[in-house]
Structure formats: structure tokens, C-alpha cells
Chains A and B, each alone.
Chain A
Amino acid sequence: MQLVKGEHIVTDRYVRVLDDAPVPDNVPVIVPAARFLADAEEFMAREAPTGVLWPNNRKVSELEPYLDRLALIALVLPSFKDGRAYTQARQLRERYGFRGELRATGDVLRDQFLFMLRSGFDAFEVKKDADAAAFIAAIKRYSVFYQPTDDGHISAFSRRLARARTPVTSAAKVIAR
């Protein structure tokens, strides 16, 4: 397993703390949802960053009170076929404005990177090393996107609108974006 962040393979500075293990001081940790919610204020008061591992069958709205202080949320794809985390990711980014690290964990494969990125994930625990190495190629494969999400890509609908409202000479730039 490799962690990809900012398009590169990086070292994971977070330690995953299981249900009843002690939480080390001064170390970034990821804790399970139930444990986090039980002692949320305590976790929020730590000096080192805290992240939460959030299951895909729980509403992300429960995290709303902590979102400005949470450093990381790890969402779960138990199998690549189970797409609930995509909805959770978009809600966290687009509805609740979460700006911390949004990490994809579980069955994280090359051919889903772009969907994840488009839904708001910015960190990926990639299952296969070859997939991690191919990350940039995988996310650059497409240049046209029909849906407006919050990932910075402009949807084809909006680009058409811009083109329609732009004089012909600069239309080429819009297309070339």
C-alpha cells in the first residue's frame, strides 16, 4: 500500500489508532468514528492533528461541529463497487466546506482515481504499487468533464456557455483549457 497525496507518493505521517489502544501524544492520529465522537472535544484539544476514519453507512452531517478543527477524514471503499464514499466526499467538500485532508481508503484502484479526485478526495491509500506509480497518468487521461463538481474542472456545459458568450478569436483558448 502506498499513500498518494498532491499527485506524489508520500510517507504517511498519521498513525492509525485502533479502538482501545492508547493515543500517543504529539503524533498525528486517525481514530475510528465511535471513539472520536465519544471524546471529540478531547481529541480537538490535542496539539497534534487528529483524523477520523468514517464508515460509509453513517451520515457525514454528524461531523459538522468538528469540521473546522479536524485535520483529516478517511472515507472507506470496502470494495470498489461500493460507491457510497463518493457521495460522502462531495457532501463534505461541497456542502460542509471541509478543507482538511480527505483520504480514500480500502479498495482504492487506478481506474477510480479520477472519480475520487472529482468527488473531493485529495489523498489515496492505493492498494497496488503499480497503480500508485501510474497516478498522474490516470488522472490526466481525460480533459472533458460533463458534471460540475468542486474539483476545479469546468464542466462542458459551462465551457460551452463561455464559448457562446466569447468572441470567436478567444474561443480557441476556452477549448484548449
Chain B
Amino acid sequence: MYHYDDFDRTLVAERVDEFRDQVARRLSGELSEDEFKPLRLMNGVYLQLHAYMLRIAIPYGTLSSAQLRMLGHVGRRYDRNYGHFTTRQNIQFNWIKLQDLPDAMADLAKVEMHGMQTSGNCVRNITTDQWAGVAADEIEDPRIWAEILRQHSTMHPEFSFLPRKFKIAITASTHDRAAVKVHDIGLRLHRNGAGEVGFEVLVGGGLGRTPYIGKSIKPFLHKRDLLSYIEAILRVYNQFGRRDNIYKARIKILVHELGAEAFAKEVEAEWQLIKDGALALDPAVIADVAARFSYPDYEQLEDSPATLTSALASDPQFKIWFGNAVSNHKVPGYAIVTLSLKPTGGPPGDATAEQMDAIADLADKYSFGEIRVGHEQNLVFPHVPQRDLPALWKAIDAIGVATPNLGTVSDIIACPGLDYCSLANARSIPVAEEITRRFRDHNLARDLGRLHINISGCINACGHHHVGHIGLLGVEKNDQEYYQVSIGGRADEHAELGTLLGPAVPYAEAVDVVEDLVAAYLELRARPDEIFLDTVKRVGVEPFKERVYATR
């Protein structure tokens, strides 16, 4: 956990005061909705189809139990008793009232949370691996860098009115769980030939209507240069990014139009002029930020304690969950536990206030009071003693977050879609819910192996459909909801965009198509452990296409 110091605390408090004043000016009529819009957006407040929506940042996906409890409180007090975890380590409340927003913000500030950088054409919430600090394959904790970047980008005077929103993600592991290749800037911590740790810098990745995989423009950047180099990228983008067309305004278009090499040259020229200035990071500054991260005081424990092995031997249900939800921790005797927010028939990523409270209590009991949020819209207990796994499983099963479907066909990433969003063309949530009902047999689902389905309700791609093993994109055809289907996408270190299968299918058939694709895969796979994605890679999209369109 990062702990605010007086500077961080003061800034957030001043922000709440400012927002209270802005809301008062709106309520009194001094500000029109048009004038108020940019101000509320800078605090994560959107106007959706039915109500205002508040998006709160969960920087780099780390939450304390006190913070999660406060999110539960906000849901209970100001909203309809639930919140929705997004794909970018934020949480959204969908029914909040304008006059309540300042109080909700003040409550959040008490636990060091805010809605800054969750909206608007600024640098958005910096995201990273939900297993940061505990992953066995990690080179160092990427959250230190995410926090330094969070601070540097908070209310940045030069970059608060960029051509378009700007997303940065960091990974420090060989396996990329932060989808850095589909971000405006992706940072990969790694070791160079001399053994020093620094960053590979990728730019211009992104989804939306023109998806691109990020291009590497700097193989190795020293830590001291992180802020100056990011500043140089943002400066080039702020000057030359397109502002004539909102759909061509993201940095990926600039990088594509200039070419990655020419773009890198512009950045390099700008960087040379500022790299030795005030932004060069003093090791003492880095150490100061790092020192405000607290780590658990782990016990000396053995792997595979008796309570665990006996439960595995005696309880098949526990064994199934264990195989699905528990991952290796870098400290012996501990485990990383993922909580599924994808119940059968439920909307992906939602948690009720009661669940949030209960999860916070369990985090205190079993995970040093810490919870993580991942881009797959599930929660994580990052530090669970292996001996406690049987007891923890019972407790989370009782509150409905132990569905053993992680990484399977029913662990769906979906945007809010037409049920909430004013941009959407089609619904996402009911499609996701229906898929989870069709595949409610989790044993069958696990037999299908890793299979990521992503659903977006419109071309803006908030459900990341381009990088789903199966991607569904809602489109509108003659006032009806239709879905384009693509397969073969992925968001990890081998990131690739999916291939469109053919004509869009109507709402009523969208889930049938998923079933057809799964049936085709079962026939086509070479071995039971060849996952869907690898089968697509091996045989191509044609056999899948034939299967889907043979009867349509």
C-alpha cells in the first residue's frame, strides 16, 4: 500500500473544496451544463443515459480494506447499493445525484481516494499488474513507478487539455497482466545487458475504432529519465496530435501517420532538451516514494501446509476452486487468491455494498488488509497464508465470489453497454449474463481451457473486444442490436488484434454464435490442452467462420 503524506492529502482536500464550489455554481445556475461538463469530467463525473455516473480511481489497482469499506459506504449511502469495477482499475457508481457528489468525494478523500484522472483528455489513472509486489516472475514492484507517474500527472498544468485521453500502463513481469501493448504508453520494466533495471517504452497502442498494437520506441530508459521522457512524449503529442477529428485524436494515429521512427525522433529531440532539467529523478525522491509503500510482515511459513493438503485430498469442490483461483506467491507459504466477480447470470465486475464490506473484513483477516483490482474485472487477495485457504474459500463462497470460472468462457470482460451508457449501440451485460448461463457447468467450462470473451457495446471498445480470444462488438443495424464477432485477439505480451469473422449477427443469435465457436473449437483442437487461441492460430479463422455462417 502507498500511504499519502501531507502533500498528497492536502491536494485531494483542496480538490474536494474546488469541486464543491463548482457543483454549487452549477446548482445555482451560474454554470450551464455545457460549462460544468469539463469541470465534472475532470473529477470523474459523467452524465449517462439515466443519471450521473461517478468513476473513482484505484491507482495501480491497490485497495486497502478501509478504502473498500468506504466504496461500500458510497454505494450504500449515495447509490443503489452496488459498484462496478472497470477494466482500467477504476470503480463506477451509476446512480449518484449531483447534489450528493461533493459529500461522496469528501468521504472518499478520508481514505485517500478521488476521481481525478478518470475522465477528460488528460493522463488517466496509471494501471499495472494486479499481482504487483507479489508475482513470482516480477523484476521489481511497478507500483512505485505508477505512483511517481500518478503524482506527476495529477493536475499537470501543460497536459490537462491533450487532444484526447491518455492511458499509461506498466508491467514488471515476463507475463504481461497489464495489457501494456494496448495503451497510449506501455512501460515494461526489465534488465539491460549491464544488469540495470529500466524501462522499455512502447507508444501508440490502443483499441477503439482504430486499434493498434504499441510500437517500441525506446528499448531501455534509465529510471532517472522516466518523467522527462514521458513529458517529451506528451509534449510532442500535445503539439502535433490531431484535434480536427475526435476519432483521429489519440496518439496512436499520430504515431501511425508520422511512423514510429519519425515519432521517436521528435520525442528524442524534445527529450534531449529537458532530460537533465528539473524532471531528472533524484534517487532520494524515488526512495521517498518507495518508503511510503508498506509491505506485509510475512511469517516464515512452509509451502503446502497440512491444512491445505488435507483439504485438497478430502474436498473435491475445494480442489476445483484451488486449481482455478489460487496462484503462486513469491513468498513461501503464501498464495495469491483471485475472487470471481463473474457469477452465473450476473453482470461482470459488479459488487454489492455488502460484498465489499465482507471482502474488506476477509482481507483484514486473511490478506494483511489488502485487495487488488485487475483489468479482467475481478478482485484479488494478494497475501493469503496457504494454511488459511480452506477457511477463506468457505467464506468467499458464502458471499458469491468463489465461482471457479476464472480464465474460462464465463469470465467475461464487458463494458456497461446500452443498459447505462449513452454512447452504446447495443447491450453488453445481458449478452455476458446469457453466456454465463449457457456455460453454467464450470467443469465443462474448465475443460474448454483458457478462453477470454470480451464484449463492447460500441466501437469505443471499452470491453476490449479486439483483444478477446472471442470478441463481440455491438453495432446498430436498422435500429436493431447486432454483434460483430472476431476471434484470435489477445492482450498479453504477445498482444494481437482479433480477426473479424463475417457479417454481424442479431442480438438473439449472439450467444448461439459463441456456442458454435466453442463447438468448432472442441472438434478442431489437436489436444485437450491446446487452448482456443492456439487452435485459431494453427488452423486459421476459416473453419470457425464456416461453422458460424453455415446455418446463417
Contact = CB atoms under 8 A, between A and B. Distances in A.
Interface string B1-41: 00001111011001001100010000000100001001100
B284 A81 contact: no
A81 B151 contact: no
B17 A141 contact: yes
A146 B155 contact: yes
B398 interface: no
B239 A87 contact: yes
A140 to B, nearest CB: 10
Nearest to A145: B155
Contacts of B243: 82, 84
Contacts of A66: none
Interface in A137-177: 141-149, 155-161, 164, 175
A83 interface: yes
Q: Sort chain A's interface into a size bin.
A: 35 or more
A124 interface: no
B5 A83 contact: no
B66 interface: no
Interface stretch (A2-10, A19-27, A38-46, A110-118): A110-118
Give the residue among B10, B158, B235, B282 with the most A Cβ atoms within 10 A. B158
A130 B288 contact: no
Given A141-B17, A143-B14, A155-B278, A84 B121 contact: no
Interface of B: 5-8, 10-11, 14, 17-18, 22, 30, 35, 38-39, 121, 151-152, 154-162, 235, 238-239, 243, 273, 278-279, 282, 284-285, 288
B38 A80 contact: yes
A90 interface: yes
A50 interface: no
A7 B121 CA distance: 28
* Interface majority SS (helix, strand, loop, mixed), chain A: helix
A158 B7 CA distance: 11
Given A87-B158, A141-B14, A146 B38 contact: no
Contact of A160 (B14, B17, B285): B285
Contacts of B239: 84, 87
B284 A149 contact: no
B6 A175 contact: yes
21 contacts: A80-B38, A81-B161, A83-B121, A83-B238, A84-B238, A86-B159, A87-B235, A87-B239, A118-B157, A119-B158, A130-B30, A141-B18, A144-B8, A145-B155, A146-B11, A146-B156, A148-B278, A149-B157, A155-B278, A157-B288, A161-B284
A161 B288 contact: yes
| The 8 nearest A-B residue pairs measured at CB | A83-B161, A118-B157, A148-B278, A144-B11, A115-B157, A156-B7, A86-B158, A146-B151
Nearest to B35: A109
A87 B273 CA distance: 14
Contacts of A81: 38, 121, 161
